[in-house]
Amino acid sequence: MTDRQKALIPSPEQLQPFARLNPKLPAEIVRAAIREAEREYRYALTALICGAFSFALVIGAFVYLVETGHAKAAAGLLGAGLLGVIGSFIRARLRG
């Protein structure tokens, strides 16, 4: 089994064979790694914002349902919402 790379940028030893093929290739590989990290960051930030907004909507719906006298529906909504958030956190941690 090969060791998985832990750094964002490949080490000089990993880039050396590419430099023999084309001197500009290591710089392109580094730029590609940086672009990929930026893309992953944007996706993660977007997912975090969407998740926070969705959770705020669940809390708002919970408060509305409690105020209008639908306690059982409110409890079900909040329970399902919390289970969804917990499941998302677990999936995100297991994926990494």
Q: At what angle do helices 25-67 and 71-95 cross, to 10 degrees?
A: 170
What is the distance, to the nearest Å, from the Cα of residue 96 to the centroid of all Cα atoms in its chain?
9
- pLDDT digits 0-9 by tens, 20-68: 888 888 888 889 888 998 998 999 899 889 888 988 888 898 899 999 9
- 96: how many CB neighbours lie within 10 A of its CB? 4
User: Residue 4's pLDDT is what?
Assistant: 62
Q: Domain locations in the chain?
A: 13-95
What is d(CA 34, CA 10) in angstroms, rounded to the nearest whole number?
11
Per the CB < 8 A criterion, the answer to whether 26 and 19 are in contact is: yes
Run of H or E residues at 15: helix 12-21
